[in-house]
Amino acid sequence: MSAAHVTRSWIEEAALRSAAYHEAGHATMASLYAFSVKHVVVREPGSRHDTAGACEVDDHLSEMDDRPFRYLVYLAAGMAAEQRGTGRLIPDGDRVDRAQASALASVMFDCEPTDPRVSETVARAARVARALIAANWTWTKNIADALVRRRRLTGADVHALHPRGVR
C-alpha cells in the first residue's frame, strides 16, 4: 500500500468521523427536544451529495415553528458535537446550519440578519448546544460510532443507543 493511499484513507476516515459527530449532534438534540428523527446518515467522502450527512426530522407537530429557539439549538448541535469529538475548532463552521440559524433568528426578531440580536441569539443557541451535547456526550458518541459503522440510523436506532435505554 502506497503512502498516498494510506494518507487518503486516513483523511477519508477523519472526514467520515467528523460528519458522524456532526450528524450525531443533530440527532441527539432532536431527540432531547422530542423532534421525531426519521433517519440520520453519513456519506462516503467524495460521494455525489453536496453534504457529508443529514439528520432528517419529521415536523408533523410543528415543534420547530412553536419553539424556534430550540431549532436554533438543534442547528448549533452539529457543530458543537463535531468540535467536541474531533477536538478541532472549525473556523467557518457549517455554513448551511449557520445560514439557516441566522435566517431563522432574523425572522424571530423581524429584522435584518445584520441586526446584533441575530448574532447574539445564534451565539446563545451555540452555548446551549455545547452544554447539552456535553451533558449527553456518551449518547452522542454512541450515535457517531454507529454512524461510522452503519452509515444510516433510524430514529428507533438513535433512541436504542441511549446509555440508559429507550427513553
Give every strand in the sheet of 36-42, ordered side by side.
53-58, 36-42, 152-154
- Flag whether 13 is in a domain: yes
> What separation in angstroms does the CA of 138 have from each of 2, 55, 111, 142, 148?
36, 18, 38, 6, 15
pLDDT in tens, 28-62: 999 998 888 999 999 876 666 567 888 888 865 45
Residue 6 has a pLDDT of 40
pTM across the whole model: 0.86
> What Rg do the C-alpha atoms of the chain give, in angstroms?
16
Residue 129 has a pLDDT of 97
Q: 40 pairs with which residues across the strands? A: 55, 153
- Flag whether 75 is in a domain: yes
DSSP annotation of 33 reads T
Low-confidence ranges of the chain (pLDDT < 50): 3-8, 61, 167
Residue 34 has a pLDDT of 84
Cα angle 160, 166, 167; round to 5: 140
Total structural domains within the chain: 1
- Flag whether 166 is in a domain: no
- Flag whether 19 is in a domain: yes
CA distance 85 to 88: 8
- Flag whether 165 is in a domain: no
Residue 153 has a pLDDT of 96
CATH number of the domain at 78, please.
1.20.58.760
Cβ neighbourhood burial of 31 (10 Å; 0-12, 13-18, 19+): buried
Range of the domain at 154: 3-160
- Flag whether 101 is in a domain: yes
